[in-house]
Amino acid sequence: RSNIRKQYKQLWVSDLKLSDAGIYTCEYGPGKVRILLHILKLTISLDGHFLQNEVPELILMQNSSSPLPDLSITMFDSNNNRITPQLQNKSRQKYIVNLKKLEAMDSGTWVCQVHSDSPLINQNISFAVKVLGFQNPDLERKYATVDSTVILSWRLNSQKIKWKEGFTGQLNWKQQENANAHELLDFNVTAQGQLHETKKSSNLLFQIPEGKPESTIEVKLPKVHFNHSGQYQCQLEYQGRHAQSKIELVVMKVSANPAGPLSRGANMTLTCQVSGLLPPNAYLSWERVNGTKMDIKNSKQHEVKLEVNIHAAGLWSCHLIEDGDRKISLQYHVEEAPVWINYVIIGASAGGSLLAFALGCLCIISGRSWQQRRQRAKRMAQARQYLLENKTCQCKQ
């Protein structure tokens, strides 16, 4: 591993090892030069290939023929941000440090800066870090209305970091946290670094879109149902380790009671409902299109259902508002009943009133007749009793 270049008085040593540390003496004629060679070795766990949220472990070792100095270590990530490592073990010969939890954007060249005052050491050691993961937020929430089309997308960074080693994954769906999971599809990477997907479940009507960007997992729900809501989790697996990203799908629907046209003078209840819990900064709001502020009603915190009682026809809209922005809206058109229906209702009401009045009068008349017959029968009974008493007295005489 060594080569002497006499014309330059140089000794070349390649592929340095810790055991190469020591004092090197160069003798040339009467001259003699002594050089102390100090060796630093930096190794990174998992050969620099990580999944997101994993914490790399670095081991820095040094060797010298003189007493080993006390080293200070500073880290800079791929964006040249200073990182304070957590020192797990420290001896003059071996330093073990843990870095931060990695994100997909942390892929690139990192720098370990080593410093010592005596002997003077200022050495920058660069090392490569590849982080396979999702470019989505840690927890993404997506809103949709009933019967709309929604595409759930997970963006991998495998093409960006040229990760061509084999990894697999799957996409699962469950309606609630503790519910059974349904596997929708699984995927793997080919030798050319392309994703290959296979549909696994027929329990849910969904599609795998074509022509999507590279390294993207997508699921298309062409007609969202209210029970399609829940947690959609995409999971990566690489060498027995896992990373996942979850999208929470919240679906909105509206309904009316009673359904159908609104008659003049009648009332109707409009209900707006979402399928999952809302964050504290989100709420539901009913409003009448082109209406007034009196026609606006907002839900309270954590309410997933909002009802509004109306007595006027028109176009009503329910909004889901988060951080002051309207995420989704769903409209309900309340039609006014035709005039003839109103007349029929009025006539039926009037006829019913007259019928009730007639029945009341009949009841009163019948009651009076019954009372009169009862009184007449009572008087006749009294008269018969009187006659019987008089006959009895005549017989005694």
Report which of 101, 96, 99, 95 is spatially closest to residue 111, judged by C-alpha positions: 99
C-beta of residue 149 within 8 angstroms of C-beta of residue 228 = no
148 assigned to some structural domain: yes
Nearest-angstrom CA–CA distance, 93 and 12: 25
27 assigned to some structural domain: no
pLDDT tier at 247, thresholds 50, 70, 90: very high
Q: What pLDDT does 340 receive? A: 44
Q: Is the same domain home to 212 and 241?
A: yes
Kindly state the percentage of the chain with pLDDT values over 90: 53
Indicate the range of 1-5, 255-259, 260-264, 364-368 predicted with least confidence.
364-368
Q: What pLDDT does 395 receive? A: 47
Q: Is the same domain home to 242 and 298?
A: no
183 assigned to some structural domain: yes
CA distances 76 to 56, 84, 85, 130, Å, are 14, 9, 10, 15
C-beta of residue 262 within 8 angstroms of C-beta of residue 337 = yes
Choosing from 224, 251, 278, the residue where a domain stops is 251
20 assigned to some structural domain: no
Choosing from 199, 230, 251, the residue where a domain stops is 251
- pLDDT exceeds cutoff 90 at 313: no
Q: Is the same domain home to 228 and 307?
A: no
Q: Is the same domain home to 161 and 212?
A: yes
Segment 178-202 mean pLDDT: 85
Indicate the range of 62-71, 108-117, 163-172, 347-356 predicted with least confidence.
347-356
Q: Is the same domain home to 269 and 326?
A: yes
Q: Is the same domain home to 107 and 171?
A: no
- pLDDT exceeds cutoff 60 at 391: no
Contacts 24+ apart (CB under 8 A), 198-204: 200/170, 204/173, 204/228
CB neighbours of residue 90 within 10 Å: 14
Q: Is the same domain home to 215 and 281?
A: no
Residue-range definition of the domain harbouring residue 245: 140-251
Kindly state the percentage of the chain with pLDDT values over 70: 85
Measured in whole angstroms, the distance separating CA 157 from the mean position of its chain's CA atoms is 20
392 assigned to some structural domain: no
Phi, psi of 118 (to 5 degrees): -145, 110
Q: What pLDDT does 347 receive? A: 53
List the CATH number of the domain containing 189. Answer: 2.60.40.10
pLDDT tier at 298, thresholds 50, 70, 90: very high
Q: What pLDDT does 1 receive? A: 81
Q: Is the same domain home to 272 and 290?
A: yes
**358 against 274, higher pLDDT:** 274
Site of tokens 């022509």: 211
Segment 158-167 mean pLDDT: 87
Nearest-angstrom CA–CA distance, 147 and 230: 16
Q: Is the same domain home to 272 and 330?
A: yes
Distance from the first to the final alpha carbon of the chain: 165
Q: Is the same domain home to 200 and 179?
A: yes
Structural domains in the chain (count): 3
Q: Is the same domain home to 230 and 155?
A: yes
Tens of pLDDT, residue by residue over 127-161, are 999 999 999 888 899 999 999 999 999 999 998 88
Q: Is the same domain home to 86 and 155?
A: no
- pLDDT exceeds cutoff 50 at 393: no
206 assigned to some structural domain: yes
- pLDDT exceeds cutoff 50 at 396: no
Q: What pLDDT does 140 receive? A: 92
Q: What pLDDT does 79 receive? A: 92
397 assigned to some structural domain: no
65 assigned to some structural domain: yes
Indicate the range of 41-55, 91-105, 202-216 predicted with least confidence.
202-216
Q: What is the pTM of this model?
A: 0.76
